[in-house]
Amino acid sequence: MRGAGVWHRVGVPSTTGGFEVPLWRAVAVFRFAALAYVGLIVARDASRYAHPVVAGLVLLVMLGWTVTTALGYARPARRGWPLLAADLAVVVGVLQVSPWAVGRSALAAGAPSLAVVWLAGPVLAWAVSGGRRRGTVAALVVCAADLAARERIGQSALTGWILLLMAGAVVGHVARLAVTAEQRLHRAVELEAATRERERLARDIHDSVLQVLALVQRRGAHLDGEAGELARLAGEQEAALRALIAGAASPGDAGPAGPDTLDLRALLGRYASATVSLSAPATGVPLPALVARELAAATGATLDNVRRHAGGRAWVLIEDEGETVTVSVRDEGPGIPAGRLDEAVRQGRLGVAQSIRGRVADLGGTVTITATPGAGTEVELTVPRRPR
Tell me: the pLDDT tens digits for 276-310? 888 888 788 999 989 999 999 899 888 888 887 77
Whole-number pLDDT of residue 208: 66
Which band of pLDDT confidence, cut at 50, 70 and 90, is reported for residue 62?
very high
Output DSSP code: residue 110: T
Q: For residue 353, is pLDDT > 60? A: no
Contact 208, 284 (CB under 8 A): no
H or E element in which residue 140 lies: helix 132-148
Instruction: Kindly report the number of other CB atoms within 10 A of residue 73's CB atom.
Output: 23
Higher pLDDT, 108 or 74: 74
| C-alpha to C-alpha distance for 113 and 126, rounded to whole angstroms | 22
Q: For residue 251, is pLDDT > 70? A: no
Extents of the domains making up the chain: 19-187, 259-387
For the stretch 111-123, pLDDT in tens is 788 988 999 999 9
| C-alpha to C-alpha distance for 262 and 255, rounded to whole angstroms | 7
Whole-number pLDDT of residue 184: 86
| Cα dihedral across residues 100, 104, 107, 111: positive or negative | negative
Whole-number pLDDT of residue 327: 95
SS3 108: helix
Contact 345, 333 (CB under 8 A): no
Q: For residue 198, is pLDDT > 60? A: yes
H or E element in which residue 100 lies: helix 81-102
Distance between alpha carbon 261 and the CA centroid of its chain, in Å? 22
| C-alpha to C-alpha distance for 250 and 271, rounded to whole angstroms | 10
SS3 221: coil
**Of the ranges 44-48, 312-316, 348-352, 381-385, which one carries the lowest mean pLDDT score?**
348-352
Exposure letters 345-357 (e unless 16+ CB within 10 A, then b)? eeeeeebbeebbb
Nearest to 80 by CA among 14, 173, 27, 30: 14
Which band of pLDDT confidence, cut at 50, 70 and 90, is reported for residue 231?
confident
Instruction: Kindly report the number of other CB atoms within 10 A of residue 187's CB atom.
Output: 10
| C-alpha to C-alpha distance for 77 and 307, rounded to whole angstroms | 69
Contact 314, 275 (CB under 8 A): yes
Q: For residue 87, is pLDDT > 90? A: yes
Contact 238, 251 (CB under 8 A): no
Averaged pLDDT for residues 229-247 = 70
Whole-number pLDDT of residue 202: 64
Q: What angle, 0 to 180 degrees and rounded to 10, lies between the N-to-C axes of helices 52-73 and 20-45?
A: 170
| C-alpha to C-alpha distance for 123 and 171, rounded to whole angstroms | 9
Which band of pLDDT confidence, cut at 50, 70 and 90, is reported for residue 9?
very low
**Strands 314-320, 276-279: pairing kind:** parallel
Whole-number pLDDT of residue 160: 86
CATH architecture assigned to 259-387:
2-Layer Sandwich (3.30)
| C-alpha to C-alpha distance for 99 and 88, rounded to whole angstroms | 18
Higher pLDDT, 195 or 169: 169
Nearest to 205 by CA among 248, 242, 234, 249: 242
Contact 316, 303 (CB under 8 A): yes
| C-alpha to C-alpha distance for 122 and 86, rounded to whole angstroms | 9
For the stretch 134-183, pLDDT in tens is 999 999 999 999 888 887 777 777 888 899 999 999 999 998 888 888 88
